[in-house]
Structure 1
């Protein structure tokens, strides 16, 4: 299969803390791949490093065959790599529509932007209902939908999702995971970081289990879902 993303020997330091320790993994085009692990395992740091939000001390990030290790985040967006950060990070004082249009800032074709906007409203009908509402007044689930919609407005080939279900009610969690699957079915490759390991493994093709900056286990998501070690550590009710 064609690889869209390869991370090679990635090291990240926060001062004296060695947070990521020689990470190696890849994502094939068209997959949903999930990174699971306990708090502090390095999942968020991995995504932030891939998209240029934090520097790495060693290693390579290969996206669509190009070494993008030194590229700033905005250039990665224009190359088709989008990131939905942990905590949603919507622009609270702007409307839903304004937030979405900021997601399309790298694009020039107004007709294609309008098509993307209509697609977002199709995926997220609630955003259409609230398009003129200030984003800071949305519920947590609606803000998560807005953050995902904003990323999709860049028309990405690959999207990185960091804890999309965090802090949401069970109804919203189910809705967000349904939307992730629809995004994937539309042709977008997905790299998912998620505390809800059970939900993540149920929709993923493959998974990596991170532990203190290293990959402890990897394999098909279905195999890890039934692995006794994984179930005991990450899937206990």
Structure 2
């Protein structure tokens, strides 16, 4: 087991955002978290990556309790996050954004090789490597955010709403890339509003409602579940 979340409780002031969330991710999987806005999906990811401190519960990554570690130490352990809304460094070039993704590393020759690999995976980024990130399209910024996360050489990647604001054709392209990243050895925990797409590529999934896991199981089984169809798939 790569990641285990045990009975996680998180509050924003008086608002209880997570009420005892438990889930796990095994090596090599794509696991999806689906649910409506405000269900606690992003809060779960931000808590795993150390950006939010839970009131109680534990986060175990590769057998180590990381619940109280600061974010940069968590990145060092091989866990990176592609945040909701991309959050690229808009006033830096594409290349500089990728170099920032490798800030925890000091193996310069390998960093150059990994930038080359990112450009092979995202040819459009190579064409725009000297361009300011803020001038890229939404789809290109999403590719850059994913490329930047790959530069820390993660074994587990947390993806938060990768399809948000993208045209349908680009959504398909981004999800194909997510599958490729997974097939090349990176385990993925995916938060996604587009439940159809998430369940189509995931091995397993969890359904969150108001801070609690209400359903979990094989992704295809959930895609065929009448409750999930009605609430999240518009069927």
Length-normalised TM-score, structure 1: 0.98
Q: Which whole-Å deviations, capped at 9, do the CAs of 1:61-91 have from their partners, x for residues lacking one?
A: 0000000000011111110000000010000
Q: Which whole-Å deviations, capped at 9, do the CAs of 1:142-198 have from their partners, x for residues lacking one?
A: 000000000000000000000000000011101100100010011000000000000
Q: Report the Cα distance in structure 2 between the residues aligned to 1:39 and 1:114, rounded to whole angstroms.
A: 39
Query: Equivalent residue for 1:232?
Result: 230
Q: Report the Cα distance in structure 2 between the residues aligned to 1:10 and 1:139, rounded to whole angstroms.
A: 36
Following superposition, the deviation at residue 21 of structure 1 comes to 0.2
Query: Equivalent residue for 1:4?
Result: 2
SS at match of 2:179: helix
Q: Report the Cα distance in structure 2 between the residues aligned to 1:31 and 1:165, rounded to whole angstroms.
A: 19
Residue 20 (structure 1) aligned with residue 18 (structure 2): yes
Q: Choose which of 35, 48, 51 in structure 1 pairs with 2:49.
A: 51
For 1:1-237, what aligned pairs fall within 5 Å after superposition?
A: 3-236=1-234
Q: Report the Cα distance in structure 2 between the residues aligned to 1:112 and 1:64, rounded to whole angstroms.
A: 24
SS at match of 2:173: helix
Following superposition, the deviation at residue 54 of structure 1 comes to 1.2
Following superposition, the deviation at residue 115 of structure 1 comes to 1.6
SS at match of 1:90: coil
Aligned residues: 235
Question: Gaps (5+ residues) in structure 1?
Answer: none
Length-normalised TM-score, structure 2: 0.99
SS at match of 2:2: strand
Q: Report the Cα distance in structure 2 between the residues aligned to 1:122 and 1:226, rounded to whole angstroms.
A: 36
Following superposition, the deviation at residue 122 of structure 1 comes to 0.9
Q: Report the Cα distance in structure 1 between the residues aligned to 2:167 and 2:110, rounded to whole angstroms.
A: 34
Q: Report the Cα distance in structure 1 between the residues aligned to 2:109 and 2:221, rounded to whole angstroms.
A: 44
Question: Gaps (5+ residues) in structure 2?
Answer: none
SS at match of 2:60: strand
Following superposition, the deviation at residue 112 of structure 1 comes to 1.3
Deviation >4 Å, runs of 4+: none
